[in-house]
Structure 1
C-alpha cells in the first residue's frame, strides 16, 4: 500500500546548516517493512546533538541530513507485525534509537542499508520496537524532549543508585540539567545540588527542586564548603575546559561521576590521582532503551516532572536552532506542526 503523504523536512546539506541554513526538501524514508510505524509528526524537540550533527562537529555528517530525535505525533500507518500494541491513531513518540542501540534515528543507516532521517519534518518512519506510546498525563510538547534529553539524565541516575539516602550533584542547569534535577528528586534523593558557573539560574534551579545551588565563578569557597559531600554527580556540560578535578573533589570516597556531554573542543583529561586515592568511578552515559523510556515517562507522569519548553512553529526551525546555539532556550525548544 503506497502512502498518500510525503516525507519532507528541514535538511542540512553542508556544515553551514548548523548556522540556521537548512533547506526544506523531500526525502525517501526507509523502505516499508511490516514491523514499521509511520508517524505524522506534531512535535519535535531541538537537541544540542542536532546542532553538533548539522555542523559536523562530532565528525563528518552524511548530508543531506534531517535531524531531530525527540519526535511525538500520531501513528498513521502500522505494520501487520508491529510491536507494543500500537494502533493507527495512537499518540506515540520516538527517541534517538532506530533498529538497535547503535543505529540512530538520524545520520545513520538502518539494518536494511537505508539512510535514517529525523523529525524536523512532516512524517517519520520507525521500526515499531522503538515507538513509545505517550501517557495521557503528559502533553505532547512536554513529552517530546523527554524522549532523548529526559532519558539521557534519567538512565544514569537510575543505574547509579539515585534514591533515598543519596546526595546528587548536577553540573549544568540547561536542557539536560533541568531534567536531571527533577528526576533526582523524583527518585527521592536526599539532597540535590545544582552546579553552574553564574548565579543567574539559581531561582530556576531551586524551582526545579534543587536543595542547593553553587555558582562556581562567583563563590571562591564552593569547593571547600562542599568537599566530599556528594555520592553521585551527573555532568551535562560539553566543554573540554571544565575543571574536572575540582568537580571530583565534591565526591565522597567511592563516589561516581557520570559525563553526558561530548565536547567538540577537545578531550577531557583524566585526573588519575583524584580517582585513585578515593576509589572514585568516572563513567559516561548516552540514552536508555524503550523499556526504560516507558519507565521514565510513567515516573514523570506520577511525580509531575515537567519539561520547561518554548514551542516554535516548524516553519521557523532555522531561527530556532540559531537561538538554541546562542543559549536562549529556557530550557528546550520544541518545533510544532500546527496543521
Structure 2
C-alpha cells in the first residue's frame, strides 16, 4: 500500500448547498520528487473559502476541499527536497501550492503573481488534478511553498497568518509601513484586525477606518491610535485631509467604499492599496481627477520570503491575533460557513481537533 492511499476531507459537493459540506475520501495528487505530505493540525477559515464554496467565484470541480491557512507536521519528504524540511517539522502552507519558479516574477521574489501559479485548492495541475485544501487530514504540496512555524506561535494563531495575515502584511511592507508613517486600515474584520496589529508592530501611527463606531473599542484594543467612522463623521475627509501615507483596504466588498472621497485623506505621493477580491460581479468606480498625486493599486498574496518575515515579526513582538476555534467536522464547517456568511466572527476562525475527526483514517 502506498502512503497515504487516500485522504479524507470535508468537501463541498454542490455550490447550491455549500453550507452543508460532507466528509469524503479522495485521491491525493501524484507525489512529486520535491513534494512533502503534511498531517494537518488545524486550518484557518478565509473569506476566499466562502467565495469558492458558494460559487461566487465560478463553478469549481468537486469534491471541493477548501482551506489554505494550514498548519501541520511533515510526515513524508520527497527524495529531491532541498529546503532541509524533515519529518516531524511543524510547517505552514498558505494560499499558493506551486508556481513555475522560472519566470521573471518568480525569480524576483514575486512568485505569488506567477501567471502559472497553482493555488492550494481549486486549481488544476498540468496533469489535470485539481488541488485540494486544508479541510482535510493531509495535504500534499511542493516543499518550496511551506514555511517553518516559530515555536512560540501556537498553531491555531499561526494558521490565519498563512493567508490573511500575509495578504495584509505584504502591502504594508512593500509600501513603507514603519516609524514616522501614518497608515490606515480600512475594514476592521478578519484581515483588517490583523492589519491594525501588524501596522502598529511595524512602528506606524495607525488609523482604523470603519463605517460605524461599533468596532472602535476593539480597534483601540488592537493598537489603533485613531478611529474614523465614515458614516458618522460627515466631514471625515476634511478633518483628515492630506493626512495619511498609506491606506490598505481590507473590506470584503468595494461597493460601499467611496473611492472618489478616500484619496482626499492621502498625502501627495501616498497610496491606496486594496487587498479586497470581492464577488466577480462587483465593479470599482472612480473619477480619474480624484487620483491626482495619489496612487491606487490592488495587492494579491505575499511572497514566501514575506511570509517568513511576517512570522519573525509575530514571534519577536508576541503578536496575538483574535481567533475563535471550532472543531472540524461536517457540523463545524457548517457553523463557520453560516457565521462567516453573516459576518458573525471577531475576528478569525481556525478549525481544530483534526486528530479526533480523522482518527479513523490514514
TM range (shorter): over 0.9
- The equivalent of 2:36 in structure 1 is 37
Which of structure 1's runs of 4+ aligned residues deviate more than 4 A? Answer: none
Q: Which residue of 2 aligns with 1:317?
A: 333
> What is the total number of aligned residue pairs between the two structures?
335
Q: What residue number does 2:52 align with?
A: 53
1:113 corresponds to: 128
Task: Please tell me whether the aligned partners of residues 164 and 188 of structure 1 are also in contact (alpha carbons under 8 angstroms).
Answer: yes
Secondary structure of 1:41's counterpart equals: strand
Counterpart selection for 1:214 from 216, 228, 233: 228
Runs of at least 5 residues in structure 1 that lack an aligned partner in the other structure? none
Matches within 5 A, 1:175-254: 175-189=190-204, 191-237=205-251, 238-254=253-269
CA offset digits 1:110-165 (Å, max 9, x no partner) = 34432100001111111111011110010000000000000000000111111121
Instruction: Report the 3-state secondary structure (helix = DSSP H, G, I; strand = E; otherwise coil) of the residue aligned with 1:201.
Output: helix
Unpaired runs of at least 5, structure 2: 100-111, 357-362
Equivalent residue number for residue 93 of structure 2: 94
In the alignment, the residues of structure 1 paired with residue 222 and residue 320 of structure 2 have an alpha-carbon distance, to the nearest angstrom, of 9
Verify: 1:328 aligned to 2:344, yes or no.
yes
What's the TM-score once normalised by structure 1's chain length? 0.95
Q: CA deviation at 1:220?
A: 2.1
C-alpha displacement at 1:82, in angstroms?
1.9
In the TM superposition, residue 85 of structure 1 has moved relative to its aligned partner by 1.2
Match of 1:9 in 2: 9
Indicate if the aligned counterparts of 1:10 and 1:23 stay in contact, CA closer than 8 A: yes
Matched, 1:266 2:265: no
Query: Which residue does 1:287 correspond to in 2?
Result: 301
Q: Which residue of 1 aligns with 2:158?
A: 143
Q: Could you tell me which residue of structure 2 aligns to residue 21 of structure 1?
A: 20
Per-residue CA deviations over 1:14-53 (Å, capped at 9, x if unaligned) read 21243x1212111111101121111111100000000001
Does the 8 Å CA contact 1:99/1:110 hold for their aligned counterparts?
Answer: no
* Aligned residues of 1:73 and 1:93 also touching (Cα < 8 A): yes
- After the TM superposition, which of the residue ranges 83-92 and 106-115 deviates more from structure 2? 106-115
Q: What secondary structure, in the 3-state scheme, does the structure 2 residue paired with 1:32 have?
A: coil
In 2: Cα distance, 1:104 partner to 1:271 partner: 34
1:67 to partner: Cα distance: 0.4
Q: Which residue of 2 aligns with 1:63?
A: 62
Contact (CA 8 Å) 1:34, 1:81: kept in 2 or not? yes
Equivalents in 2 of 1:61, 1:294: separation in Å?
31
Output the CA distance in 2 between the equivalents of 1:275 and 1:249. Answer: 9
Alpha-carbon distance between aligned partners in 2 of 1:83 and 1:158, rounded to the nearest angstrom = 28
Cα displacement (A) at 1:234? 0.1
